[in-house]
């Protein structure tokens, strides 16, 4: 009887992955749920990881809702100065982050923060909140103000296209989710990988018109970016080495 109880206990332990352990991905045959206080989070087709958080009730894209909060926007001369939606994810929106080094768990946001400017990947502490609506990548600022990701028009010699956030809607190409990955496409460019992105100087985010990790432009690194829908954004786990 004692041996049976030990076996049952061991089986139950195997049913949940430990903190920071792998919990999914193509070919994964181990535990797919996490210990209490951690949630299995997709970091790409081949890897999911148990990270701190609470499991979302649904993985489908929710309908954006009006945000009611204390954030305020002041418009002056066509520019904005906003406190933003806060550090708790608002209903109907997502964090968007990279999952490859050297930008693992760096988050999409605008620079200047919550204002029109460059699209960048930076700290989780200043992460923006996003949704894709009718092909537009929309950044939530507050209940009365949003920004739109605008893509640079293509030129003959271009290998990458810049992206910025503006108060006006994008007129070039279409954003979409493919699984949890963010893609961009346009009929006039035959991109080999719709989810290929680049992070270049000053952490600016660019659309990669070439193959992922092939002939990468100087000063840039290849990335893919993915939505994440836990209540708060989390950064890369720091590991302190002794000795």
- Per residue in 75-115, pLDDT tens? 333 344 457 999 999 999 999 999 999 999 999 999 999 99
pLDDT on residue 46: 64
What does the alpha-carbon distance between residue 172 and residue 19 come to, in Å, rounded to a whole number?
42
Q: In this model, does residue 34 exceed pLDDT 70?
A: yes
Q: If you average pLDDT over every residue of the chain, what do you get?
A: 81
| Greatest mean pLDDT among 46-50, 141-145, 166-170, 209-213 | 166-170
CA 49 to chain CA centroid, Å, is 15
> What is each CA distance from 202 to 125, 173, 217, in whole angstroms?
17, 25, 15
Higher pLDDT pick, 79 / 163: 163
pLDDT on residue 22: 79
Question: pLDDT over 70 for what percent of the chain?
Answer: 77
* Token pair in block for residue 189: 């460019």
Higher pLDDT pick, 41 / 52: 41
| Greatest mean pLDDT among 8-12, 28-32, 151-155 | 151-155
Concatenated DSSP letters of 103-140: STT-EEEEESTTSSEEEEEE-GGG--EEEEETTEEEEE
The residues facing 138 across adjacent strands are 131, 148
What does the alpha-carbon distance between residue 94 and residue 228 come to, in Å, rounded to a whole number?
6
Query: Model confidence at 237, in pLDDT bands (50, 70, 90)?
Result: low
pLDDT on residue 18: 82
Query: Model confidence at 208, in pLDDT bands (50, 70, 90)?
Result: very high
What does the alpha-carbon distance between residue 157 and residue 81 come to, in Å, rounded to a whole number?
36
**What's the number of CA atoms in the CB half-sphere (13 Å) around residue 85?**
29
Domain regions of the chain by residue span? 21-52, 94-228
């Amino acid at each position: 009887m004692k041996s049976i109880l030990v076996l049952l206990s061991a089986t139950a332990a195997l049913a949940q992955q430990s903190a920071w352990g792998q919990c999914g991905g193509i070919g994964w045959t181990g535990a797919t749920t996490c210990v209490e206080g951690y949630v299995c989070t997709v970091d790409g087709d081949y890897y999911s990881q148990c990270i701190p958080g609470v499991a979302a009730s649904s993985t489908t894209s929710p309908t954006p809702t009006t945000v009611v909060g204390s954030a305020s926007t002041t418009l002056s001369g066509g520019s904005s100065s906003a406190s933003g939606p806060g550090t708790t994810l608002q209903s109907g929106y997502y964090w968007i982050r990279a999952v490859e080094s050297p930008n693992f768990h760096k988050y999409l946001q605008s620079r200047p923060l919550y204002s029109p400017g460059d699209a960048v990947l930076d700290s989780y502490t200043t992460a923006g909140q996003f949704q894709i609506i009718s092909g537009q990548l929309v950044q939530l600022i507050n209940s009365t103000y949003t920004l739109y990701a605008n893509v640079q028009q293509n030129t003959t010699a271009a290998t990458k296209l810049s992206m910025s956030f503006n108060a006006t809607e994008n007129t070039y190409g279409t954003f979409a989710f493919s699984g949890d990955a963010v893609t961009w496409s346009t009929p006039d460019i035959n991109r080999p990988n719709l989810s290929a992105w680049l992070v270049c100087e000053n952490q600016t985010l660019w659309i990669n018109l070439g193959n992922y990790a092939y002939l990468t432009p100087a000063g840039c690194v290849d990335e893919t970016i993915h939505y994440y829908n836990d209540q708060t954004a989390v950064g890369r786990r720091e590991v302190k080495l002794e000795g």
